[in-house]
């Protein structure tokens, strides 16, 4: 495209964010036909389909690139607004939104402090894409997110990486479940076929913990519970045993609501912030803010880059 139509890119971004032409029209306070016309014109100029129509509407590879570009431009515009306000006064036109990939356990424990501070200190809004820490980097590589919290230590091409520290996971169960299943102690024999919890089929923290404790793994009978709150509730009500962050487990163990299967044995997952270096000063400041909050709550790694 010789000249980018940013008004149309904003509409494209709204369609992808809201999931439909109708929802985008409602959010932008325009008619659905106006949204459809703008997207059609944008696709004709680009010479490629940008939106895969469906429920929800999804971006094509080309659509992802355009959405990523308009997010970066929006951040740059907000920075300019902030500088101009410092010079001549007045209000900022509007808060920019940054799409982030964040692992579920961080989102449920320490990351809400980041969201609060990002709003108050940076004047931005966050659009969080939750996933397992071993898979959040996919949204960064695809362009769906500008930054992620990930277990991937290797820097992604074109990205800035910060080591945040480590999250410890301990194996726990209710006292009743522990007595019923592990009265003879916790071993590979008693674990074999026992009922455990996992967030989804991508979650392998149970295998990591068994390898740490016993040097190998055994088959388990697994409930898949893709909710942090639901996962912990199932541990507490005696449904199964599971691995939860020590941040959450420690007070529950102290209250006697949960029992550690192997005290002192925690599976440690290192977390990293990876963000596009082609973005703005605001994204850099957000990364520094994330590091500050992570340092308060995570296990500090011995060395940082």
Q: How many domains would you assign to the chain? A: 3
What's the token pair of residue 58?
């999804």
Shared-domain flag, residues 218 and 127: no
Weakest-pLDDT range from 41-50, 60-69, 86-95, 166-175 = 86-95
- Considering only the C-alpha atoms of the chain, give the largest distance between any 2 of them, rounded to a whole number of Å: 73
DSSP labels, 138-165: HHHHTTS-SEEEES--SPPTTEEEEEEE
Question: Which pTM does this prediction carry?
Answer: 0.72
Residue 302 inside a domain? The answer is no
Average pLDDT score over residue span 227-252: 96
Question: With contact defined as beta carbons under 8 Å apart, do 134 and 270 qualify?
Answer: no
Mean pLDDT of the residues in the chain: 87
Question: With contact defined as beta carbons under 8 Å apart, do 275 and 283 qualify?
Answer: yes
Shared-domain flag, residues 230 and 92: no
Whole-angstrom distance, CA of residue 221 vs CA of residue 196: 6
Residue 12 inside a domain? The answer is yes
Residue 145 inside a domain? The answer is yes
Residue 161 neighbours by CB under 8 Å, 6+ apart: 153, 155, 272, 273, 274, 305
- Specify the pLDDT at position 304: 41
**Interval 195-223: pLDDT, tens:** 999 998 888 999 999 999 999 999 999 99
Shared-domain flag, residues 288 and 217: no
- Specify the pLDDT at position 216: 97
Shared-domain flag, residues 72 and 184: no
The share of the chain scoring above pLDDT 90, in percent, equals: 58
Residue 305 inside a domain? The answer is no
- Specify the pLDDT at position 13: 86
Residue 1 inside a domain? The answer is no
Confidence of residue 303 (pLDDT cuts 50, 70, 90): very low
Shared-domain flag, residues 160 and 283: yes
Whole-angstrom distance, CA of residue 93 vs CA of residue 187: 61
* CATH number, domain with residue 234: 3.40.190.10
Residue 89, pLDDT > 90, answer: no
Domain of residue 81, residue span: 64-165+269-297
Whole-angstrom distance, CA of residue 151 vs CA of residue 192: 28
Residue 43, pLDDT > 80, answer: yes
Residue 223 inside a domain? The answer is yes
Helix (H, G, I), strand (E, B) or coil at 263: coil
Shared-domain flag, residues 158 and 176: no
- Specify the pLDDT at position 238: 97
Q: Sign of torsion, CA 133 134 139 143?
A: positive
Shared-domain flag, residues 151 and 72: yes
Residue 26, pLDDT > 60, answer: yes
Shared-domain flag, residues 141 and 278: yes
Residue 205 neighbours by CB under 8 Å, 6+ apart: 169, 198, 243, 267, 269
Residue 274 inside a domain? The answer is yes
Shared-domain flag, residues 293 and 159: yes
Shared-domain flag, residues 37 and 75: no
Residue 144 inside a domain? The answer is yes
Shared-domain flag, residues 149 and 72: yes
Shared-domain flag, residues 123 and 235: no
- Specify the pLDDT at position 174: 98
Residue 135 neighbours by CB under 8 Å, 6+ apart: 202
């Amino acid at each position: 495209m010789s000249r980018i139509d940013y008004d149309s890119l904003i509409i494209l971004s709204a369609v992808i964010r809201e999931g439909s032409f109708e929802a985008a029209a409602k959010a932008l306070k325009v008619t659905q036909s106006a949204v459809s016309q703008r997207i059609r014109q944008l696709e004709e100029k680009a010479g490629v389909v940008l939106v895969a129509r469906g429920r929800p509407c999804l971006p094509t590879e080309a659509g992802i690139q355009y959405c990523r570009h308009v997010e970066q431009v929006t951040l740059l515009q907000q920075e300019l607004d902030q500088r101009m306000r410092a010079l001549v006064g007045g209000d900022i036109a509007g808060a920019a939104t940054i799409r982030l990939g964040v692992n579920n356990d961080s989102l449920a424990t320490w990351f809400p402090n980041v969201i609060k501070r990002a709003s108050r200190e940076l004047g931005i809004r966050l659009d969080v894409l939750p996933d397992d820490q071993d898979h959040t980097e996919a949204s960064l590589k695809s362009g769906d997110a500008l930054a992620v919290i990930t277990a991937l230590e290797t820097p992604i091409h074109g990205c800035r990486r910060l080591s945040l520290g480590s999250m410890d996971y301990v194996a726990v169960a209710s006292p009743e479940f522990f007595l019923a299943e592990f009265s003879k102690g916790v071993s590979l024999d008693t674990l074999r076929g026992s009922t455990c919890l996992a967030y989804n089929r991508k979650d392998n923290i149970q295998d990591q913990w068994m390898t740490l404790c016993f040097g190998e793994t055994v088959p388990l009978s697994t409930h898949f519970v893709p909710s942090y709150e639901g996962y912990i509730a199932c541990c507490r009500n005696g449904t199964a045993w599971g691995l939860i962050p020590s941040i959450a487990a420690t007070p529950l163990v102290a209250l006697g609501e949960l029992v550690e299967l192997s005290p002192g044995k925690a599976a440690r997952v290192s977390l990293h912030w990876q963000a596009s270096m082609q973005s703005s000063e605001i994204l850099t400041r957000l990364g520094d803010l994330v590091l500050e909050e992570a340092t308060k709550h995570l296990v500090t790694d011995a060395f940082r880059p």
